Chains A and B, each alone.
Chain A
């Protein structure tokens, strides 16, 4: 027996990259879909996990290489770079200024909006392990799962994106 899920009512998404622009696009689609009444599940894996990091260090004890990764990767939405025209961090500053002028929501606001609309956010535990990120370092209210959970949810959806 399979459970009855209306495929038109579900969207799944893999957020693989940790760039500001790609994260923005992911959350705009996620909040838009949720506003259209869809059930939305976002899976964050590899660099995408950086989108979910808290601003401050959680001071978790970890091996040297993992500590290096922790230091070198962007810590949360405010620190993300652009996939194009990053220009050593100048690009995102300019982009944020332009977004503000055009009244476009910031990534922080979009994430908050997604949570408010009950978008389910899942962190991939395998990539957390590889990159040495712990639950304490990620924002609250996340689910933690692996590939089978993602595939099972994708199977119930009629739209599935990889960003």
Chain B
């Protein structure tokens, strides 16, 4: 999937993946897509919850070995 920016949050523990995601999304224009890579096991459900509450769209998520990947479109 195409993305406008990649956030490498691998190795970071809670709450840093969501905090970094917020900061990156703030920099984007509406409609742009941020791709996030994280290894924190909680991030699998945390990114879903983050997108839901903050109103951005989670386009897709997948797991690649130990890495969780997410694509979020800025509202």
Contacts and interface: CB of A to CB of B under 8 A. Distances in A.
A131 interface: no
B12 interface: yes
Contact of A35 (B11, B12, B13, B18): B18
Q: Give the contact-size bracket for chain B.
A: 10 to 19
Q: Is the interface of B mostly helix, strand, loop or mixed?
A: helix
Interface in A84-118: 102-105, 113, 117
B19 A31 contact: yes
Interface in B26-69: 49-50, 53-55
Contact of B19 (A102, A103, A104, A113): A113
B6 interface: no
A105 B13 contact: yes
Given A35-B19, A36-B22, A28 B14 contact: yes
Contacts of A36: 18, 22, 49-50, 53-54
A105 B15 CA distance: 9
Interface residues of A, number: 13
A102 B16 CA distance: 12
B68 to A, nearest CB: 15
B19 A32 contact: yes
A31 B13 CA distance: 13
B19 to A, nearest CB: 5
B12 A103 contact: yes
B59 to A, nearest CB: 18
Given A103-B12, A103-B13, A104-B13, A37 B18 contact: no
A31 B18 CA distance: 9
A122 B54 CA distance: 25
27 contacts: A28-B14, A28-B15, A31-B15, A31-B19, A32-B14, A32-B15, A32-B18, A35-B19, A35-B21, A35-B50, A35-B54, A36-B49, A36-B50, A36-B53, A36-B54, A37-B22, A37-B53, A37-B54, A37-B55, A102-B13, A103-B11, A103-B12, A103-B13, A104-B13, A104-B14, A105-B16, A117-B22
